[in-house]
Structure 1
Amino acid sequence: MITSPSFYRTIHKQETGKAVVLGHLVKRLMKKHAAKIIVCTAVFALLFTSFLMIGTYASGNHPAEAAVNEQVVTVHSGDTLWGIAQQFTDGKQDIRYIIYLIQDRNDLQSSEIMPGQRLIIPSI
């Protein structure tokens, strides 16, 4: 039989109230795993705010209105970005770069355009 005073105090504390033991266990766990808890909380906060930002910026796929030095073109049947870019090049720049500028200005994810679509041609 164990008769050390520390053993008696441990048993005595457990008998006086489970809340004391539970509080003691929580404190021990917090001290032991503090770094893990802090890292997990930081990762959770980072992911949560990232998802909020993605939801905020992914909702609008509409470009800003055309500026004074930009032109607006309505796409007709059979038009391509290549053909539209050729109309607005001076022959000194690469047409692929002009296409990139048009796609970037109009928030286009691919080179597909539809008849009736309005494209903003940036100043080149």
Structure 2
Amino acid sequence: MITTISSYSTNYKGSSDKVVRKRSWADRRFERVVVRLAAASLLFVILFTGFTLMKSDASGEHLAEPAAGEKVIYISPGDTLWSIAGGLRKEGEDLRRIIYDLKERNNLSSSTLKAGQLLIIPADY
């Protein structure tokens, strides 16, 4: 019988030297763990990117309206966050925490203030 090269592989019924081995339970478990880690990593990257994009939309130029009980002050020449926080500080309070709260409330990326700038003082102070 004459066969072509393309049909030779389908008509050949000889034995193969390859030993077909079933994948063990440990191999399948390892593959499942790798797939889960890859999926968790992808989810983390997506969430981190989303939170970064949301946070980058905030700017110190556009303040939210002050809520009830919050005070608004105008920055005078020479005012610093340290001096303002020092005036708001109660006995035993950490000055760094007050500065952090002021920066967060006013969406400030640095501690520098400009004369005439509005600064919202949270109601806690």
Q: How many residues align?
A: 98
Residue deviations 1:45-93, cap 9 Å, x none?
331232122212321135532112111111121111122234434x535
The answer for the alignment partner of 2:74 in structure 1 is 74
TM-score (norm 2): 0.57
- Bigger helix share: 1
Query: What displacement does 1:95 show?
Result: 6.4
- After TM superposition, list the pairs within 5 Å mapping 1:1-124 onto structure 2: 11-12=9-10, 34-35=31-32, 36-62=34-60, 63-89=63-89, 91-94=90-93, 96=95, 97-123=97-123, 124=125
Supply the distance in 2 between the matched residues of 1:109 and 1:72 (Cα, whole angstroms): 19
Structure 1 residue matching 2:120: 3-state secondary structure: strand
Give CA-to-partner distance per residue, 1:90-124, whole Å, 9 cap, x none: x5354614333322322333322122221101122
Instruction: Provide the rounded CA distance (Å) in 2 between the counterparts of 1:99 and 1:107.
Output: 12
Letter in 2 for 1:73: I
**Cα 1:94–1:44, aligned 2, differ >3 Å: closer, same or farther?**
closer
| TM norm structure 1 | 0.57
The SS at the match of 2:78 is coil
Shift in Å, 1:34? 4.3
Over aligned residue pairs, what C-alpha RMSD do you find? 3.2
Moved more, 93-102 or 114-123: 93-102
SS in 2 for 1:120: strand
Letter paired with 1:72: V
Q: Distance in 2 between matches of 1:51 and 1:107?
A: 20
Structure 1 letter corresponding to 2:47? T
Query: CA separation in 2, counterparts of 1:106 and 1:72?
Result: 11
| Identical columns (%) | 29
Cα distance between partner residues in 2 of 1:110 and 1:84: 15
